[in-house]
Structure formats: C-alpha cells, structure tokens
Structure 1
Amino acid sequence: MTSSSSVAHRLTARRPVGSGAPIAPRTEVRVSGRVVAWSSAKVVLDPAGDTLDVRIECTGGDQPPWARRLLVHDLLNRAQHAGISRVTLACPLGDVEIIDALNDHCQPVVARSAGTTCIVEADLKAPLRRDHAN
C-alpha cells in the first residue's frame, strides 16, 4: 500500500486485502510487479442508499484471466461489508470477465454501451453472514 494524499490498495496475484478494509480511491492488481488491472472508486452518499461509483481499466495484451475478477470481487466485497446498496461501474466494452464477476455480487445487472465503455448499474446483494458455532 502506498499513501501520499490518498490511499491506494495493491492486490498481488490472488491475494486480495480483507473485505473489512476501506474502499480506496485506487486499487491495482499486479502480476510479477506489473500492473495489469486497476480501478478508481468513490462512494456517492445518498439517504436512499449509498452507491459505489467505479471505473475499471486494464492493460492490453496478455494478462491472467482472473486479474479483473479479483479486482471486482475485492471492491464489491468491501462495498457489501460497508453497507453500500448500489454500484455503478464503467469498464471496457465487451469485458465479459468483469460482468460475470458482477453477477456474483449484484442483482439485477443493467448494462449499456457508451462508445467503447460499458456502463453497468446494479443493486448489491447483502453480504453472506457466517455464523461461528462453538
């Protein structure tokens, strides 16, 4: 994690930060020291329910198929645990990996194109509660 005027999270291959961590304005997925996917995020406060506004970008060329999925799961796990009820996400048009990962956390997913970008709006599902029996 680096910090100057803002907080940033870096996800190393298959090792996301815990879901209880805050939502950073920038999150990166690095593979072998190279950034392959990143997001910028902000929470839009609303009395009817807060919205996580996210933009996901990725490098062109060869990258692990799980990198973008890891990024989406990390962001939406944090949002669910923070009590955020909606997500608006912008990603490259045709990125099925991101949309598929959204379906794990959201219901219903509504997507539309805007040039080379896909805009997705969805309601977040409530986080799964795990009861610890002794």
Structure 2
Amino acid sequence: PNLCCQIRKIEPLQKALNRYDAWMTGIRREQTLQRASTKVVAWEERYEAAKIAPMPDWTEAQVWDYVRANNVPVNPLLHQGYKSIGCEPQTRPVHHDEDPRAGRWAGIDKTECGIHVEGGKISRAGA
C-alpha cells in the first residue's frame, strides 16, 4: 500500500503543487494521534509550499453542523458507514464502536497515506 499511495496520491500532489505557493487541507487534530499537533500554517519542505489547515480544532460535530447549516455536499459513502474515505481497494465502512480510520488499510498497520506526515515519514498508529 505504501507504493500505491506514493504513485496515486503523493506524486500527483507534488506535481500539482509545483504551480502554487500554498495548499489547503481539512485535516483536524482530533482525527488521529499523528494529526494532534497540526498547525494552522506550516511549511512543507517536500512540497515547497505552505500547508494551511484552517480548522484544526474543529470537532466532528462542528464539521457536521457546518455541513448542514451551509448545505455542503458530501460524499454519499459518509452516510453508508464510511468515516474516512480513501481509494476503493483500501477503504471499508466501520462499525459505530470502531476508530474512524479503522476502515482504511484494514488489517494493515497503516493509518496515513503519506500526504499529511512530518518530514515525509509515515508514522504508525500509536507511534
């Protein structure tokens, strides 16, 4: 899965960001241990661009409140038990008592695709 993510996610993002000085992401600190220290603005050396996370302190409830209040379209899979959506072969719905990212790379000790990691190193769950 690491090579798959590299080819299908990381490299295309690097190529796309060649034209820009900054990019925005919707990641939030409460999502994973690896995202707990997310800064609002951080320089991403490997992308040579600023990464802007405008809502790092939002809770999942706040996100859904905003979605409903502003009629923001969402991926229909979110209403079918998918809490985190990635590529088709590596994503499954999760049970209500599972971690939201348990549906990504199920059965593999992997929690991040590699886009949102410090220094380009993929950290494992609980690391």
What TM-score, normalized to structure 2? 0.26
**In proportion to residue count, which structure has more helix?**
2
Which one has more relative contact order, counting CA pairs under 8 Å at least 6 apart? 2
